[in-house]
């Protein structure tokens, strides 16, 4: 580490985001498996793209096919998974992008770690607070059934804890709100915060 020197870029985050006419940030979707995180993040990204905003979506399963394919699902591996995603998200924010990150991320400490990687106001925690009973009823990947049968260990909500956010910026329950209504709420929040700029979000 002593032989490393930080290389100062000639372009700043302010210049990169200014070119895109948006305030970069991480939109962090956290919640149980089956809560609707990925569906919501995908729908939001489509809406933002239609409004000419510059985004990138990071999804838990997709990242484990490449960047984090060496990690398992122990607490230590899950924490390392989120640490890497946090660092990657920080780079995307520096590039001036709106980063949508959909991860169970069950531990408050790891979500706080990601928040602390970026500047104040650049981390928006969205708790997709769909009840466990609804998530288990949906069970789109059959994971809850396998967890209940003991075929999967360390499964969040069954035999591994989920620490719900204490003060998230937004709370959305997809069992109560439609997909469009949920996207509308997030868009309105981004407008109110000045993250979406120059009238394209009208």
Contacts of 1 (CB under 8 A, 6+ apart): none
Q: Extract the tokens encoding 25.
A: 């940030």
Angle between helices 37-50 and 179-192 (to 10 degrees): 60
Angle in degrees, CA 42, 47, 51, rounded to 5? 140
Set 17, 38, 105, 182: catalytic member: 105
Q: For the CA atoms of the chain, what is the radius of gyration?
A: 17
Give every strand in the sheet of 25-30, ordered side by side.
55-59, 98-102, 25-30, 123-128, 170-172
* Residue 89 among the catalytic residues: no
- Cα separation, 144 vs 187, in Å, equals 31
Compute CA 15 distance to the chain's CA centroid, rounded to the nearest angstrom. 24
Active site residues: 105
């Amino acid at each position: 580490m002593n032989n490393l020197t930080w290389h100062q870029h000639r372009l700043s985050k302010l210049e990169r985001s200014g070119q895109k006419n948006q305030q970069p940030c991480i939109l962090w979707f956290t919640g149980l498996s089956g809560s609707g995180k990925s569906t919501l993040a995908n729908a939001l990204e489509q809406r933002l793209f239609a409004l000419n905003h510059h985004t990138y979506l990071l999804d838990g399963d997709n990242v484990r096919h490449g960047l984090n394919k060496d990690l398992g699902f122990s607490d230590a591996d899950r924490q390392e998974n989120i640490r890497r995603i946090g660092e990657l998200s920080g780079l995307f924010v520096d590039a001036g992008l709106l980063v949508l990150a959909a991860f169970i991320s069950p531990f408050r400490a790891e979500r706080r770690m990601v928040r602390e990687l970026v500047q104040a106001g650049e981390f928006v925690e969205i708790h997709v607070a769909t009840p466990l009973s609804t998530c288990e009823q949906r069970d789109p990947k059959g994971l809850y059934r396998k967890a209940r049968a003991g075929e999967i260990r360390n499964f969040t909500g069954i035999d591994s804890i989920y620490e719900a956010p204490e003060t998230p910026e937004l709370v959305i329950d997809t069992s109560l709100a439609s997909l469009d209504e949920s996207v509308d709420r997030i868009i309105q929040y981004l407008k109110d915060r000045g993250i979406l700029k120059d009238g394209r979000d009208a």
